[in-house]
Amino acid sequence: MTSDRNKDLKVRWHDMGGKTADPIQLTEHDFELWEKRVDALMVLSSSKGYFTVDGLRRVLEDMGEEAYKEMAYYERWIASINQNLIESGAYNIQELGEKMAEVAKRGETYGDCSIEIVEQ
């Protein structure tokens, strides 16, 4: 016997359960430096109490279908972390903009240093 209780529930765009999707890549890969930094920022910020996993998920799920399709995994995560840090008062949009301008002046290669360059 099936229930009509859930017939009016709308499935949100991020709920992929039962839908056809691209094959899952099962190969291991190394993460890019910026991806590692996003992960570290998430761990540090959440451990300091700025947000919870629930807060991160709320922002991820509220991004909308286009953002979910267009943005890479860690791009979505940094957007969620940023929104949660703003909401928690860690910084405001003006402070973020000022810091982004400061970092942009450092150039595109800032922080992208390999061990070979350091050892020379």
pLDDT tens digits, one per residue of 84-93: 999 999 999 9
Checking if the pLDDT of 96 tops 90, the result is yes
Checking if the pLDDT of 69 tops 50, the result is yes
Instruction: For residues 113 and 109, give the distance between their C-alpha atoms in angstroms, rounded to a whole number.
Output: 8
Instruction: For residues 45 and 47, give the distance between their C-alpha atoms in angstroms, rounded to a whole number.
Output: 5
Long-range pairs, 54-58, Cβ under 8 A, ≥24: 55/84, 55/87, 56/80, 56/81, 56/84
For residue 50, the model assigns a pLDDT of 96
Mean pLDDT check: name the lowest of 18-22, 33-37, 73-77, 78-82.
18-22
For residue 12, the model assigns a pLDDT of 57
* Domain layout of the chain by residue ranges: 33-100
- 16 vs 1 pLDDT, higher one: 16
Instruction: Please return the burial class of 80, using the count of CB atoms within 10 Å of its CB with bins 0-12, 13-18 and 19+.
Output: buried
Instruction: For residues 116 and 42, give the distance between their C-alpha atoms in angstroms, rounded to a whole number.
Output: 28
CATH of 33-100, one of 1.20.140.10, 1.10.472.20, 3.40.630.10, 2.60.120.1310: 1.10.472.20
